[in-house]
Amino acid sequence: MKSTYILVLLLAFTACETQLDLSPVTNLTNVTYYKTAEDAKAAVGACYAQIGGTDPFLDLVTTDDAIAFLTGSADRPLLWRYNITPSNTFISQYAGAYNGINRSNTVIGRLPGIPMDENLKKRYIAEAKFLRALHYFNLVRLYGDVPIVTTETTSLEGLAVPREPVDKVYELIEADLKEAESVLPKTYPASESGRASLGAAKGILARVYLTRAGTTAGSPYWAQAAAKAKEVMDLGVYDLYANFADAFALTARGGKENIFEIQYLTDVKGHGDGRGYGVRSAPIYPGTGSGIARPTASLFTLYSDKDTRKAVTFITSYVYNGVTTTLSITDPDFTKAVSYQKLWDKTAKTTSGEGTSKPILRYSDVLLMYAEATNESNNGPTADAYAALNKVRMRAGLTALTGLTYQQFKEAVWLERRLEFTFENMRRFDLVRTGRLLDAVKAENSFARNATIQPFHVLMPIPQADMDANPNLKQNPGY
């Protein structure tokens, strides 16, 4: 087994410098640790720290939303063109997810032995189960069958775990989310902002049911997804901001629209997605923009000029030293390309210091899941389904829709999801669950993409490093 893989899997808990303000856990052993309520708090904080590494690149360039920067790392254009091998560095989200799962398993297994407030202990364990479910949900959607590990890994023994069928993985995900749902509170005080809540558990469970329904007409999961989304709506805790831009503002951390998010602090513990996906070589970012992926014209032109999301999502020009540079959606020069700015923290002074939160579940997603699932379970849109869809549209400055057939309404929701959630790690999962990935990728052929996508590409390959580390893993077909 490769030592790097073992190091990742067994890595001790690291500092969590987010809004949760939890203490770092370093240089401690299992003998001296997990003794006090403060140990428990920090251990749960380490679970949250592991969800902070999400990158939208895989979602963007394996769909019809973005074009990879065509020089530099060869793995980028290879992924974009679907010349994908298990060694591609941009598909390796596997080990990080299992690191997060191991942290959750540690909390779930060790906190029962800590003398502390029992209600708080139950809540911490519920938070860990929510986060474990989130990791497994990402894994099963990316890779299909995956190993199920529900106890803490403390040594090299027991690492060679075989893959389990998708249905069994979903059974664990659903069980974890339902247990979390039975324990987690509706709200937290401001000092606890960022923790998993009742609404987060219900909302992710709605997404699980929507995914499991897939393309099956009449699936019972449609009604379950609609019911669970409605439960979030009925909590009376969440709503849309009046302006789309406000959902991504620094002031929106823990706000009414952001049901669950990865929180950062500007120039303390930040991310670099605004700069990384900003205009190539533009001096308006610390260290200049990287431009590792640019939006496609097919995405950009979907937005009407009345859609307020367009100006929030994309940067189309910038001013530096009094000179205005106008950007293009078609110019092959990436230094002149329209780029993403949705998560850009303009106050950041360091290259990876942006403090804008990365959304995992927003209230607009709950509304659109409800609209889609209700249309499916009723074989046509209801008044409530229209209300949910139109609430999102009208916030964006668009007119309300009426008089649609079942199919028209479904496609209207799909379009709205693409416009609402681009750059939020949603597009690939939406295309796969609705059976549209291959057609969408084949239709997006700008910049001579010529993607060699095949049906097996609905799943990513298990990363080669993880295959090498675990002899009991079998690779996905086609790779």
Count of domains for the chain: 2
Element (H, E) at 231: helix 220-234
Query: What pLDDT shows up at residue 155?
Result: 73
Please count the other Cβ atoms lying within 10 Å of the Cβ belonging to residue 478: 12
Would you say residue 22 lies in a domain? yes
Q: Which amino acid is at 101?
A: I
Strand partners, 314: 340
| CB contact at 8 A, 261 and 358 | yes
153 plus 297 within the same structural domain: no
**312, part of any domain:** yes
d(CA 429, CA 396): 23
Q: What is the pLDDT of residue 440?
A: 98
> What torsion do the CA atoms of 190, 195, 199, 204 make, to the nearest 10 degrees?
150
What is this structure's pTM? Answer: 0.93
Residue 117 counted as domain residue:
yes
Specify the length of the chain in residues.
Answer: 479
Indicate the residue among 154, 183, 212 that finishes a domain: 183
Identify the domain boundary among 161, 183, 205: 183
The residue among 327, 356, 385 that closes a domain is: 356
- List pLDDT tens digits, range 303-326: 999 999 999 999 999 999 999 999
Do residues 49 and 179 both lie within one domain?
yes
Parallel, antiparallel, or unpaired: how do β-strands 314-315 and 323-326 relate?
A: unpaired
Render pLDDT for 170-207 as a digit per residue (tens, 0 to 9): 999 999 999 999 999 999 999 999 999 999 999 999 99
Contact (Cβ atoms closer than 8 angstroms) between residue 279 and residue 324: no
Q: What is the pLDDT of residue 201?
A: 98
Same domain, 144 and 286: no
Shared domain check, 129 and 14: yes
How many whole angstroms separate alpha carbon 149 and alpha carbon 144?
A: 15
> With 0-12 CB in 10 A as exposed, 13-18 as middle and 19+ as buried, what is 23?
middle
Q: In this structure, are 178 and 288 located in the same domain?
A: no
Domain containing residue 350: 273-356
**Same domain for 176 and 320?**
no
* Strand-pair category, 314-315 with 339-340: antiparallel
Mean pLDDT in consecutive groups of 10 residues from the start of the chain, 479 residues: 30 33 40 85 96 88 97 92 97 94 97 97 98 98 98 80 97 98 97 96 98 97 98 98 97 95 96 97 97 98 98 98 98 97 97 96 98 98 98 98 98 98 98 98 97 98 96 97
92 within some domain: yes
Rounded Cα distance between 58 and 42, Å, is: 31
Alpha helices in 92-191 (DSSP H): 94-110, 118-143, 166-183
Q: What CATH number does the domain containing 17 carry?
A: 1.25.40.890
Using alpha carbons, select from 475, 473, 439 the residue that is nearest to residue 454: 439
